[in-house]
C-alpha cells in the first residue's frame, strides 16, 4: 500500500516498541465508541509500524474522519479517567508480504479472530507489544489531542 499521500503523525516515543516488523507493516486498531455516539459502533486508528507513523485518511476534511475514519468519536469517560482503554480492541496486522491476522484484546489477549499468529509468536508477546490497555489509550489520546493537525506539514 502506497501511503505517500496520506496525512501522517509520528507515533509517540516509546509506544509499541516491542512490536516486530516481521509480523506485518500495518496495524489497524478498531476501538469501541462510548455511549455518546450509539449510532457509531467504533473507529479505527491505523499505524505504519515501519515508519512509526499514524496514518490518516486522505481526502477527508473533518479532523475526526481524517484520523479516526468516523465523524463521531468518543470513548467511555471511565477509560479517560483511568487512562486505560478497557474496551474490546480488534486489531488487524497486515503488509510486508505477510498473511493478514486479526486479534482481539480485552484485558489481555482474548482471541485470534482471523488468520494465524506468526510462527513462534505467543499470545503474550502480541499482547505486550500492541495490546496493553495503557498503550492503546495513549495512542487514542495522542491522536485525539493532535487531530487538528492536517498531517501534511513538514515535521
pLDDT tens-place string over residues 140-150: 999 999 998 76
pLDDT for residue 60 is more than 90: no
Cα 145 → chain centroid: 15
Which residue in 103, 86, 95, 96 sits closest to 29, CA to CA? 103
Which residue in 53, 44, 56 sits closest to 15, CA to CA? 53
pLDDT for residue 100 is more than 60: yes
Please, what sign has the CA dihedral across residues 14, 18, 132, 63? positive
Which DSSP symbol is given to 118?
P
3-class SS of residue 111: strand
Query: 66 φ, ψ to 5°?
Result: -65, -45
pLDDT for residue 56 is more than 90: yes
pLDDT for residue 31 is more than 90: yes
> Residue 26: its pLDDT value, please?
97
> Residue 5: its pLDDT value, please?
84
pLDDT for residue 43 is more than 60: yes
> Residue 155: its pLDDT value, please?
43
The C-alpha cell at 79 is 477509560
3-class SS of residue 145: helix
pLDDT for residue 96 is more than 90: no
As a whole number of angstroms, the longest Cα–Cα distance in the chain is 43
Which residue in 133, 129, 143, 43 sits closest to 93, CA to CA? 129
Confidence of residue 154 (pLDDT cuts 50, 70, 90): very low
What mean pLDDT comes out for the span 105-123? 94
Helix ranges, the chain (H): 63-68, 77-82, 123-126, 133-146
Which residue in 32, 38, 15, 3 sits closest to 142, CA to CA? 15
What mean pLDDT comes out for the span 77-87? 94
Q: Which residues pair with 47 in a beta bridge?
A: 27, 54
What mean pLDDT comes out for the span 103-132? 95
Amino acid at each position: 500500500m502506497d501511503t505517500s499521500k496520506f496525512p501522517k503523525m509520528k507515533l509517540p516515543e516509546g509506544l509499541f516498541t516491542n512490536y516486530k516488523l516481521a509480523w506485518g507493516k500495518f496495524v489497524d486498531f478498531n476501538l469501541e465508541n462510548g455511549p455518546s455516539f450509539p449510532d457509531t459502533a467504533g473507529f479505527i486508528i491505523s499505524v505504519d509500524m515501519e515508519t512509526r507513523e499514524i496514518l490518516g485518511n486522505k481526502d477527508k476534511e473533518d479532523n475526526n474522519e481524517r484520523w479516526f475514519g468516523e465523524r463521531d468519536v468518543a470513548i467511555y469517560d471511565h477509560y479517560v479517567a483511568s487512562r486505560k482503554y478497557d474496551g474490546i480492541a480488534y486489531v488487524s496486522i497486515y503488509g510486508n508480504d505477510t498473511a493478514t491476522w486479526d486479534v482481539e484484546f480485552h484485558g489481555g489477549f482474548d482471541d485470534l479472530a482471523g488468520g494465524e499468529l506468526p510462527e513462534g509468536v505467543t499470545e503474550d508477546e502480541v499482547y505486550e507489544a500492541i495490546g496493553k490497555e495503557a498503550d492503546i489509550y495513549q495512542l487514542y489520546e495522542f491522536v485525539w489531542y493532535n487531530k487538528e493537525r492536517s498531517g501534511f506539514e513538514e515535521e
